[in-house]
Chains A and B, each alone.
Chain A
Amino acid sequence: MIVFDKVCFSYGERQIIKDLNFSINFDERVAILGGSGEGKTTILKLIIGLIKPDSGKIIIDGEDITNKTEDHLREVRMKFSLVFQEGALFDSLNVKENVAFCLREYTKMPEDEIDRKVRELLRIVGVEHAMEFMPEQLSGGMHRRVSIARSLAACEPRMFLYDEPTSGLDPVNADNICKLITDLSKSGKGFIVVTHKVVDALKVANRFMFLKDGELVFDGDREKLLHSDIPDIQVFISELNYAGVKDV
């Protein structure tokens, strides 16, 4: 379970997260919605211990991670698999080596098995043909998908964290990614997906949070979200009316 207890965070003088409280089980399917620059990525970074809150506690699996050293945080991080918004592939390695990174790091898999596994992961995200490419030869969307494949190769996470997995993708690929996210959660592993696309959030998640000015202004299920009277959420949802999927 992830618990945020009165968490505050600021970059320099600017306060990004104000007094945030919530708890999420490892098997939940959560979407964190919010405008650009509201601090969604910051929340994911806090969960995984890349940055430390100014005050408040972050409790993962009963352990307070706020004062842990890098060495101890490693165990916490292994519980998650995070896909960065930017993809962040290692640019000195080709696509295959990128995806194989965790396999090489943590397992003693023979070469042909690594090859098979990498191929399979790349097929799932639909970039099998780019196996020998270097990251700079990939388009933005391919970069993101390879990055997802790389995270999937990480050793058995308890929960997936996706930062804007579908932004910048064409509808077909975005839909594929949504399906992939859903498939991966079938085994009981939950996820937190950060996005500003309500359509995609509705496809995958069943619990929704809305972030505004560093505070959680909404936390509830699908019905509650669609009938929320918070103006910002209504703007987000109006996207659905154009698409005509409000009643899906």
Chain B
Amino acid sequence: MRRLKEIISDLQDFYMLSVRGLLSIFKRPFYFKDAIEQMDYAGAGSFFIIFIVSLFVGMALSLQLSAELSRLGLKIYTGKVVGISVIRELGPVVAALVFTGRVGAGMASELGLMVLGHQVDTLRVFGVDPIKKLVTPRIVSSIIMLPALTIIGDAVSLFGGYYIAVFVSNQSGTLYWSSIREELIFENVFSGAVKPFVFGYLIACICCYMGLSTKGGATGLRQSTTKAVVTSIIMIIISDFILTRILLYVLGFPV
């Protein structure tokens, strides 16, 4: 019973943090400098890893599909299937998972250490709202940077797929690109573009919440960082499914 109460009160705190963190974007004072710094860390800093991961995901996907589709004599569909999977599904999820591992874990451990070092209490003593000062810039940076990284990742994946399709599987490059261009319709792009915003928001909220609720030294920090990453990953995968379901329905795709 006490456990249940704790869970409910934790959820309530989490909810408060996410809502206030988001609403604070529109309230004074603004911490532009902190937001820019976070964006630099989250965006520019993650570029390289997103590039590598997306490239290889795209290549592997294209390789698998070429192998399977050529067995069925449907090789010409490689571009189409790669395009749909990357834009609608793989791109956003892969970018979000990489982002969690690199940026989310960083947020949780940084905030956790600030809690343990009484720095968050110091902010409160100085009359500064820690949610505004610490959480909001991170939310802003995540909901701007994750979509940007996703777009870059998508492009790199498609390019990786192109490389395999043309130079390994000997398909026509023009056909590959034209079938991908056919897939760049509003429905597909939209369903791929909504996800990273939601994921970015979720990652920032979960990781900040876990970081700020750190208790008890190095072990506590380890726990809260682990929890931040694990919870984020689970929530990304679950919300991806839910979003896919909703988007397919809203956009009128027959399932």
A residues neighboring B (CB under 8 Å): 45, 48, 50, 70-71, 73-75, 77-78, 80, 82, 84, 86, 88-91, 101-102, 105, 154
Q: Would you call the interface of chain A mostly helix, strand, loop, or mixed?
A: mixed
Contact among A84, A91, A101 with B121 in the assembled complex (CB-CB below 8 Å):
A84
Q: Residue on B with the closest CB to A135?
A: B117
B residues neighboring A (CB under 8 Å): 29, 113-114, 117-119, 121-122, 124-129
Chain A residue contacts of B124, Cβ below 8 A: 50, 70, 73, 77
Contact among A45, A71, A91, A105 with B126 in the assembled complex (CB-CB below 8 Å):
A105
Chain A residue contacts of B127, Cβ below 8 A: 74-75, 77-78
Pair A77/B117 contact, Cβ less than 8 Å: no
Pair A88/B126 contact, Cβ less than 8 Å: no
Q: Residue on B with the closest CB to A50?
A: B121
Complex CA distance for A84 and B122, rounded to whole angstroms = 8
Complex CA distance for A73 and B130, rounded to whole angstroms = 13
Chain A residue contacts of B128, Cβ below 8 A: 105
Shortest distance from the beta carbon of B176 to any chain A beta carbon, whole Å: 47
Complex CA distance for A191 and B155, rounded to whole angstroms = 62
Pair A101/B126 contact, Cβ less than 8 Å: yes
Instruction: Beyond A48-B125, A70-B124, list 11 extra A-B contacts (CB 8 Å).
Output: A71-B129, A73-B124, A77-B125, A77-B126, A77-B127, A80-B125, A84-B122, A86-B117, A86-B118, A88-B117, A88-B119
Shortest distance from the beta carbon of A78 to any chain B beta carbon, whole Å: 5
Of B113, B118, B119, chain A has the most CB atoms within 10 Å of the CB of B119
Ordered by A's residue number, 14 sampled pairs between the chains whose C-beta atoms are within 8 Å are A48-B125, A50-B121, A50-B125, A75-B127, A77-B124, A77-B127, A78-B127, A82-B125, A86-B117, A88-B117, A88-B122, A90-B114, A91-B113, A105-B29
Pair B117/A91 contact, Cβ less than 8 Å: yes
Q: Residue on B with the closest CB to A102?
A: B126
Knowing A86-B118, A88-B118, say if A70 contacts B129 (CB, 8 Å): yes
Chain B residue contacts of A48, Cβ below 8 A: 125
Complex CA distance for A101 and B119, rounded to whole angstroms = 12
Shortest distance from the beta carbon of A96 to any chain B beta carbon, whole Å: 15
Complex CA distance for A73 and B124, rounded to whole angstroms = 9
Q: Residue on B with the closest CB to A105?
A: B128
Complex CA distance for A105 and B118, rounded to whole angstroms = 19
Chain B residue contacts of A86, Cβ below 8 A: 117-118
Nearest 4 Cβ contacts at the A-B interface: A88-B118, A74-B127, A88-B122, A82-B125
Complex CA distance for A78 and B118, rounded to whole angstroms = 18
Shortest distance from the beta carbon of B27 to any chain A beta carbon, whole Å: 11
Pair B125/A91 contact, Cβ less than 8 Å: no
Complex CA distance for A91 and B121, rounded to whole angstroms = 14
Shortest distance from the beta carbon of B33 to any chain A beta carbon, whole Å: 9
Q: Residue on A with the closest CB to B110?
A: A92
Shortest distance from the beta carbon of B107 to any chain A beta carbon, whole Å: 13
Chain A residue contacts of B126, Cβ below 8 A: 77, 101-102, 105, 154
Complex CA distance for A75 and B29, rounded to whole angstroms = 16
Complex CA distance for A80 and B124, rounded to whole angstroms = 12
Contact among B29, B118, B129 with A84 in the assembled complex (CB-CB below 8 Å):
B118
Complex CA distance for A50 and B124, rounded to whole angstroms = 8
Complex CA distance for A75 and B129, rounded to whole angstroms = 12
Of A89, A102, A105, chain B has the most CB atoms within 10 Å of the CB of A105
Complex CA distance for A86 and B126, rounded to whole angstroms = 16
Of B29, B124, B125, chain A has the most CB atoms within 10 Å of the CB of B125
Chain A residue contacts of B125, Cβ below 8 A: 48, 50, 77, 80, 82, 84
Shortest distance from the beta carbon of A59 to any chain B beta carbon, whole Å: 19
Shortest distance from the beta carbon of A85 to any chain B beta carbon, whole Å: 8
